[in-house]
Amino acid sequence: MLTLRRSTDRGFVNLGWLDSRHTFSFGSYQDPNHMGFGQLRVINEDQVMPGKGFLPHGHQDMEILSYVLDGELEHQDSIGNGSVIRPGDVQRMSAGTGIRHSEFNASDTNAVHFLQIWIIPSETGIDPSYEQKNFTAEEKKGTLRLVASPTGRDGSVVIHQAIDVYATLLDSDTQITHDLASDGLRPTEGHRTAWVQVARGSVQVNGETLNAGDGAALVQESQIRLQGLDDPTEVLLFDMAA
């Protein structure tokens, strides 16, 4: 079963310096029907204006991923990390017992466009930590590249939850498939679920057309079929326990 979450139905806030779209309830946008999906709690699509950003603020017991689509995002945190996140980079911050950080547009001329993703961890009270890795367009083109996982396999960043996060770039003539519960380490077929988030372009997911900003929950599906409809289409896929 596939359940669509259209881009136009998301929560929305515009603060002048920030344009943010909320797939799930976040901040002032609260919808009891959209509080998350499994352990996936937040998918925010943010655009931050040049030279602006989020002042230092705190998080606790949350796995936070940042995925930049365009521009540059500057990160500073209370455990000594400082970096600039660019397209192709995946940043993972485990808030654990507590961490403070700031996020600013590193450019004075161009907006930064990125996805901020929150995942509820499998354990609380861990030491806060940080990781950042780059995954090239070539690695993602026409295939599902694992970018985050609980074990860090295949060079992915480590998240403290049993979720595999994949990224792909698809041309309009490219179709790929993903089998749920296929690696021998997971429960039997039907005991995995998935969320698909379209970052840019258009894609057909198990026969349904999704456009940029759309998401879809897949439950009791044994396979996910992705067919690119635009050049390029960029998609994130979250494979998780039911």
Cis amide bond preceding 121, omega within 30: no
Confidence at residue 183, expressed as pLDDT on a 0 to 100 scale? 47
Hey, CA dihedral for 131, 128, 186, 163, is it positive or negative?
A: negative
Domains with residue ranges and CATH for the chain: 2-123+135-241 (2.60.120.10)
Cα separations in angstroms, 57 against 77, 197, 206: 9, 27, 40
Q: Which of 134, 208, 191, 137 is nearest to 168 (CA)?
A: 137
Estimate to the nearest angstrom the gap between the alpha carbon of 109 and the chain centroid: 26
Stated pTM of the model: 0.94
Residues 6+ apart with CB under 8 A from 15: none
Confidence at residue 80, expressed as pLDDT on a 0 to 100 scale? 87
Q: Which of 100, 62, 102 is nearest to 84 (CA)?
A: 102
Confidence at residue 180, expressed as pLDDT on a 0 to 100 scale? 86
Confidence at residue 37, expressed as pLDDT on a 0 to 100 scale? 97
Q: How far apart are CA 128 and CA 121, in angstroms?
A: 12
- For each of the chain's 242 residues, which pLDDT tens digit applies? 999 999 999 999 999 999 999 999 999 999 999 999 999 999 999 999 999 988 888 899 999 999 999 999 999 889 988 899 999 999 999 999 999 989 999 999 999 999 999 999 999 999 999 999 999 999 999 999 999 999 999 999 999 999 999 999 999 989 999 998 644 444 444 478 999 999 999 999 999 999 999 999 999 898 999 999 988 899 999 999 87
Q: Residue 113's beta-bridge partner residues?
A: 47, 70
Q: What would the two tokens of residue 7 be?
A: 């881009």
What length is written for the chain? 242
Confidence at residue 190, expressed as pLDDT on a 0 to 100 scale? 45
Confidence at residue 181, expressed as pLDDT on a 0 to 100 scale? 63
- Strands 40-48 and 18-22 come out as antiparallel
What number of CA atoms fall less than 13 Å from residue 208's CA on the CB side? 17
Q: How far apart are CA 59 and CA 98, in angstroms?
A: 6
Confidence at residue 187, expressed as pLDDT on a 0 to 100 scale? 45
- Strands 233-241 and 163-170 come out as antiparallel
Could you count the other beta carbons within 10 Å of the beta carbon of residue 212?
A: 17
